[in-house]
Amino acid sequence: MVNEDAKKVWDYLDEHKDEYIELLKKFCAQPSVSAQNWGMREMAEMVRDTVTELGGNGTLIETDGNPFVYGMIDNGAKRTLTLYNHYDVVPPEPYELWNTPPFEPTIIDGRLYARGSSDNKVSLLSRYIAVDAYQKVLGKLPINIKFLAEGEEEIGSPHLMQFIHDNMDKVQSDGIVWEGGSRVTNGPLIVHMGVKGVTTFSIKCSHPKNGSSPMWRLIWALNSMKNADDYITIDHFNDSIAELTDYEKEFVHKAVYEEEATLKRNGIDHFIRSLTGEALKDKLYSEPSMNIQGLFFDEIDETTGMPKSAEVKIDIRTVPNQNPDEMMQQIRDHLAAHGFDDLEVCGGHSTLPYRGKPDSLLARAVIKNVEAAYGEPPIVLLMTPGSCGMARVVKATGIPIVHYGCMDDSSKAHAPNESADLNHYIRGAKLSVLMFQDFATLE
């Protein structure tokens, strides 16, 4: 049962649904393509003005790239929640694949079609309209809210960490609702709170020690690093991996994984090790994986017919508590110990893994209320196989992060005909209303 106060706010959201949809249309009609530097300032100002209208004193904080929008509703409350979103979108091309123009928001069968509708404007506004409706109906929120929106998420958030280091006071809070978040179309909401990390590196062979082809040297070395059952066999590689606790396993096993559809989509008849069910999910969510991106050579030596040097590019999807620097050292030590001291390991870039904490205040305040807003309990993922910068933020701030948002499996984010489900938009706001209340009171 939803409490009386929340019910009043929910009614307000329903009664003003059309206005809120108009606001979303206005946001989607404004191009904000960071990769093409198109409309960024105008979009930032639109977000800033919306934050100001909510009582948050919106300001633009300049960086060497696109500005951050920041604002705060300070109610002198005990707890503060940060709403982190992004106002940039990916490029709309190729135009010819769109059924409606990407920056002319069009509603068809309850979905709003536009570039950026689902990623991330619907989630951003769903949170903002929850604040709006709450304040209009009940006055002060029981918590303080910090609004933070960046304009470079789709180009890798190059200034996010700098911003956080320079503005720790503006991020400091008891929980961060992260951008994005999705739902099985017309099905359960997915609450997720962590990501795998990624570490890229390359191994080079320029001076094969026994006159073999540099390409063979790499192939033999690679063969010692992973076996045909997809187990990584680098010495000591698995020592630091934090195993799932029984509590965490419960969440992993409850996650939905569409085995049949995935097999079909990839044209394969079984997964590696013939895994299925819980074991397959354990692997997906808690085991690192290592991928060869490609093997390259520069030039063929005409006298020997061998490449003069060769290189392999690799990425590893990491899990807690794997550390990129430690891993690079393990790989170097492994190669040396197996006779490959003529190979050179060059580190690339890394994002860190982070497994979320379902017992954090924010996670509990979200999870507890999903069934009331959506009619069924959520799928809770402590970590998703994708990678993003959120772990860096948790590491830098120590603040727990949760994603729950208004995309769904039909949204086609980043693709032509991107769309957002408008009922999901309002339900998301209703969930936020309940979350605000519990975020203030849960012990």
Residues 76-90 as b/e (b if ≥16 CB within 10 A, e otherwise) read: ebebbbbbbbbbbbb
Tell the smallest beta-carbon distance from residue 414 to Zn ion (Å). 6
With beta carbons less than 8 A apart as the criterion, state whether 171 and 397 touch: yes
With beta carbons less than 8 A apart as the criterion, state whether 304 and 210 touch: no
Task: Give the C-alpha separation, 164 to 397, whole Å.
Answer: 8
Q: By C-alpha distance, which of 194, 198, 289 is closest to 248?
A: 194
Nearer CB in complex with Zn ion: 242/415: 415
Query: What pairing do the DSSP bridges indicate for beta strands 344-351 and 197-205?
Result: antiparallel
Among the candidate windows 119-127, 243-251, 290-298, 303-311, which touches Zn ion by CB under 5 A? 119-127
Tell the smallest beta-carbon distance from residue 310 to Zn ion (Å). 35
Among the candidate windows 19-27, 116-124, 361-369, 381-389, which touches Zn ion by CB under 5 A? 116-124
Query: What pairing do the DSSP bridges indicate for beta strands 144-150 and 80-86?
Result: parallel
Residue 427's φ and ψ, nearest 5 degrees, are -60, -40
Nearer CB in complex with Zn ion: 88/342: 88
Task: Give the C-alpha separation, 177 to 127, whole Å.
Answer: 9
Nearer CB in complex with Zn ion: 119/342: 119
Nearer CB in complex with Zn ion: 119/408: 119
Nearer CB in complex with Zn ion: 233/417: 417
DSSP labels, 222-266: HHTTB-TTS-B--TTTTTT--PPPHHHHHHHHHS---HHHHHHHH
Tell the smallest beta-carbon distance from residue 86 to Zn ion (Å). 8
Size of the residue set binding Zn ion (CB under 5 A): 1
Q: How far is CA 171 from the centre of its chain?
A: 18
DSSP labels, 192-216: E--B-EEEEEEEEESS-TTS--HHH
**133 Cβ contact list (under 8 Å, min separation 6):** 9, 12, 13, 16, 429, 433
DSSP 16: T
Nearer CB in complex with Zn ion: 343/407: 407
Among the candidate windows 31-39, 40-48, 113-121, 224-232, which touches Zn ion by CB under 5 A? 113-121
Tell the smallest beta-carbon distance from residue 151 to Zn ion (Å). 13
Nearer CB in complex with Zn ion: 91/142: 91
Tell the smallest beta-carbon distance from residue 371 to Zn ion (Å). 28
Three-class secondary structure of residue 317 per DSSP? strand
Nearer CB in complex with Zn ion: 180/288: 180
User: Binding string, 53-92, against Zn ion, x = CB under 5 A?
Assistant: ----------------------------------------
Among the candidate windows 50-58, 112-120, 346-354, 367-375, which touches Zn ion by CB under 5 A? 112-120
User: Binding string, 297-316, against Zn ion, x = CB under 5 A?
Assistant: --------------------
Burial class (CB in 10 A: 0-12, 13-18, 19+), 126: buried
Tell the smallest beta-carbon distance from residue 251 to Zn ion (Å). 25
Nearer CB in complex with Zn ion: 123/322: 123
Using CB under 5 A as the binding rule, the residues of this chain from 351 to 370 that contact Zn ion are: none
Residue nearest to Zn ion (CB): 119
- Residue 150 near Zn ion by CB under 5 A: no
With beta carbons less than 8 A apart as the criterion, state whether 341 and 335 touch: yes
Tell the smallest beta-carbon distance from residue 220 to Zn ion (Å). 40
Among 88, 119, 179, 311, binds Zn ion (CB under 5 A): 119
Task: Give the C-alpha separation, 334 to 329, whole Å.
Answer: 8
Tell the smallest beta-carbon distance from residue 116 to Zn ion (Å). 9
Tell the smallest beta-carbon distance from residue 118 to Zn ion (Å). 9
With beta carbons less than 8 A apart as the criterion, state whether 179 and 123 touch: yes
Tell the smallest beta-carbon distance from residue 119 to Zn ion (Å). 4
Nearer CB in complex with Zn ion: 236/414: 414
Q: Tell me which residues touch Zn ion (CB under 5 A).
A: 119
